[in-house]
Amino acid sequence: MFLDFKTIKHDAVIQSDLCIIGAGAAGITIARELIGKSHRVCLVESGGLEYEPMTQSLADGESIGLPYYPLDQSRLRFFGGTTNHWAGQCAPLSELDFQYREWVPYSGWPISRADLDPFYRRALPICELGPYVFDRRAWDTFEIEPPPFNPAKIQSHFWQNSRGPTRFGQVYREELQNSEKITVLLNANVTNIQTDQSGENVTHLDVAALNGKRGRIRARFFVLACGGMENPRLLLISNTVHPNGLGNSHDLVGRFFMDHASAMCGMVLAADVDSLLETYKYRHFEGTRFRPGMAIGKEEQIKSEVLNACATFTEEEHFSDGVHAGRQISDGLRNMKIPDNLTENILTILKDLHHVSKYLKCRLQGEEKCATVLLHLETRIEQAPNPNSRITLSPEKDALGLNRLRLDWQRGELEKKTLKAMGIALGREFGRLNLGRVQLPQWLEQDGESEWMGGSYHHMGTTRMAENPKMGVVNEHCRMHGVNNLYLAGSSVFPTSGFVNPTFTIIALALRLADHLQLRMEEENF
């Protein structure tokens, strides 16, 4: 059942067994797992069924650290969340991503890859993916023999792309709407998570609509599933009992903000460009698109003490200086105009006759593509957990009178070290196999941060998972330390990020949490 909070009576109190805040990938997944059960579920969504600018403006905030995307453009606030415009790229985290690594401060999950494997498998049909194959075995599916890289140095990695991709708000709307026990509450913005005076139990949520309507939601259990930015913001705002914010006794809420750093780790001077592009192109199997990549090997990560990373090829058409000069003259003559720098262009052509003659021969033979193709290594890098990279509250208020968020995104030197190690490892393997050589970008040798390294819109780590409440906000079951009935879902609980897109792991963790909640509610006989 769907209800529009803007249309119900003022100061209404909604009763439920379980209240899920946020109808994105995590929230919808948990709610779907409870379809057909006896428990009453309320799934709360800030927006409606379609994009609305006023609601979206609630996601705005300020960025005071490294350059970042406009915050109101990095997440969507309507039913389905950011799956309304995601690319659908999925892969699981590696075994090493879950482990403690001495050279990565604050690394290690309280669960292992083996703990999550069954839930990754269950997530496949939810994301409309193919078989549970994301490594070298995928090459066998396509009957292709890839370059024989030393797996200790470079490993085969595959992403799968969700068909469509899967828009959760569209694909799963009907079954939620037809469920008797599930209420989807649209246009309802949580303004406060209220606990009892002990601070150990959430009693209710204060909810508001942009038209001024107010109300409350009471439940036995609550799940906060609003993403890596909004989760910490709501906890910090909820400070009536906990002055520093709910769950923030150890000043951890909002810290360890991570995003996948993205940059070019080198240019490939390949012996056979076409062959490499053919091998590493997108491929399809039973309706699922696979994208191959080259990941830094586990042994290389340990030996070089670097983070996880993966590279793919991107193409760039390039003309030599002489060819470029000749094209300028040709364009000018075609327009009945002699270029101003004619003499300079002619001299440039004479100095580059080898490439110019090769280009002319190509054109005379009727070839359409006569440019030199440059191969760049586009690399996605894990970000090391950093307590100084954080989300806090801005003094600026939104339309509901709530503090907007303030992002201070920070990175260390380990990300750049990883990018360089990735380029070197690929260069050595390319050289060993006579595939070509890799030219590293000059900025990798320079000190400090670089404008060449950007983000990926993946917000992680701000309510991290840990056994010790002094190291994390939630425990291994995603329950908030010190609060009996509040759970968190989504990438905010990731202690580390790996290099893969987070949504597949978000859904696996949501399935695991749904099982835990069902068991707990059954044990408490309601």
Q: How far apart are CA 345 and CA 328, in angstroms?
A: 8
Q: How far apart are CA 225 and CA 127, in angstroms?
A: 18
The answer to whether 288 and 308 have CB atoms below 8 angstroms apart is no
Q: Which residue in the block uniquely carries the two structure tokens 């599930």?
A: 182
Q: How far apart are CA 360 and CA 358, in angstroms?
A: 6
What structural domains and CATH numbers belong to the chain?
2-127+162-260+382-411+453-523 (3.50.50.60), 320-370 (no CATH)
Per-residue pLDDT of the chain (526 residues; tens, 9 = 90+): 999 999 999 999 999 999 999 999 999 999 999 999 999 999 999 999 999 999 999 999 999 999 999 999 999 999 999 999 999 999 999 999 999 999 999 999 999 999 999 999 999 999 999 999 999 999 999 999 999 999 999 999 999 998 889 999 999 999 999 999 999 999 999 999 999 999 999 999 999 999 999 999 999 999 999 999 999 999 999 999 999 999 999 999 999 999 999 999 999 988 888 899 999 999 999 889 999 999 999 999 999 999 999 999 998 776 666 766 667 777 776 776 776 777 787 777 777 676 667 767 776 777 766 666 789 999 999 999 999 999 999 999 999 999 999 999 999 999 999 999 999 999 999 999 999 999 998 888 887 666 678 899 999 999 999 999 999 999 999 999 999 999 999 999 999 999 999 999 999 999 999 999 999 999 887 5
Residues 6+ apart with CB under 8 A from 69: 455, 457
Q: How far apart are CA 418 and CA 426, in angstroms?
A: 12
* Adjacent-strand bridge partners of 161: 89, 289
Whether the upstream peptide bond of residue 92 has omega within 30° of 0, thus cis, is no
Q: How far apart are CA 380 and CA 110, in angstroms?
A: 25
The answer to whether 127 and 166 have CB atoms below 8 angstroms apart is yes
- Residue 353: CB atoms within 10 Å: 10
Nearest Cα residue to 22 out of 492, 474, 500: 492
Could you tell me how many helices (H) and strands (E) the chain has, helices first? 15, 21
Q: Helix or strand or coil: residue 217?
A: strand
The answer to whether 194 and 203 have CB atoms below 8 angstroms apart is yes
Rounded to whole angstroms, what are the CA distances from 453 to 97, 224, 266, 379, 387? 21, 31, 13, 10, 20
Q: How far apart are CA 236 and CA 95, in angstroms?
A: 33
Q: CA 465, 158, 421 angle in degrees (round to 5)?
A: 75
Q: How far apart are CA 161 and CA 347, in angstroms?
A: 50
